[in-house]
Chain A
């Protein structure tokens, strides 16, 4: 069974901290994505990656960066966490042969 694993289910960080959210997939997918989910706003794309070392900005990249050094791992970095980045963060990978998306179980980040 295919899997996307996010390293933490719940995370509490202080304002100004540098935060790393890790995502690992075991399906050899080239495409990976980071979304954030907020009530009433649905899911919004932060960054995505076509392949190793490639990244593209999504709709709300401000305050975030990403790293993809290996195919299976896509990291989201909050350079200096702020309270408005309190949210649920969802990682996904995509099978380019059938457009199927697999999501991780999410990381609920609280910035205090």
Chain B
């Protein structure tokens, strides 16, 4: 099956710093999504981005489908950005395969 790898596994930032999270996938995908899981376990859908670039406030994402990777950018990080960021892909069978996540800690 498709492999989804995320890097780095852990990231510690000072408030106000910028960061880039990466997601590599091993096969063509119909669907790629980014999620944020807050410290209380709630998963929030950030982006649906099978290709191209999208922005939502301080967050933006870019997927280069032909090179099989996606990037999530967090600018001016805040403590509320802490949690785990997951990339998930769908190869066309309507089920998402998740990466193992990047754990982000933003300190004040």
Determine if B95 and A33 form an interchain contact, defined as CB atoms under 8 angstroms apart. Answer: yes
**Closest CB-CB distance, A61 to chain B, in whole Å?**
12
Q: Is the interface of A mostly helix, strand, loop or mixed?
A: strand
Determine if A58 and B95 form an interchain contact, defined as CB atoms under 8 angstroms apart. Answer: yes
Picked from A88, A101, A106, the residue with its CB within 8 Å of the CB of B96 is A101
Determine if A42 and B94 form an interchain contact, defined as CB atoms under 8 angstroms apart. Answer: no
- How many interface residues does B have (CB within 8 Å)? 21
Determine if A105 and B42 form an interchain contact, defined as CB atoms under 8 angstroms apart. Answer: yes
Contacts A33-B95, A99-B31 hold; do A40 and B100 have CB atoms under 8 A apart?
Answer: yes
Residues of A whose CB lies within 8 Å of any CB of B are 31, 33, 35, 40-45, 48, 50, 56, 58-59, 88, 90, 92, 98-103, 105-106, 108
Q: Which residues of A contact B43 (CB under 8 A)?
A: 90, 92, 103
Picked from B45, B97, B100, B101, the residue with its CB within 8 Å of the CB of A101 is B45
Number of A-B contacts (CB under 8 A): 52
Q: Which residues of A contact B48 (CB under 8 A)?
A: 98-100
**Closest CB-CB distance, A77 to chain B, in whole Å?**
19
**Closest CB-CB distance, B41 to chain A, in whole Å?**
5
**Closest CB-CB distance, B39 to chain A, in whole Å?**
12
Determine if B45 and A48 form an interchain contact, defined as CB atoms under 8 angstroms apart. Answer: no
Q: Which residues of B contact A103 (CB under 8 A)?
A: 35, 42-45
The 4 closest A-B pairs by CB, nearest first: A103-B43, A42-B98, A43-B98, A42-B100
- Render B54-97 as a binary contact track against A, CB cut-off 8 A, 1 for contact: 00000000000000000000000000000000101000001111
Contacts A99-B31, A102-B45 hold; do A45 and B96 have CB atoms under 8 A apart?
Answer: yes
Contacts A41-B100, A42-B99 hold; do A105 and B41 have CB atoms under 8 A apart?
Answer: yes
Inter-chain CA distance A11–B45, complex, in Å, is 26
Determine if A101 and B33 form an interchain contact, defined as CB atoms under 8 angstroms apart. Answer: yes
Q: Which residues of B contact A88 (CB under 8 A)?
A: 41
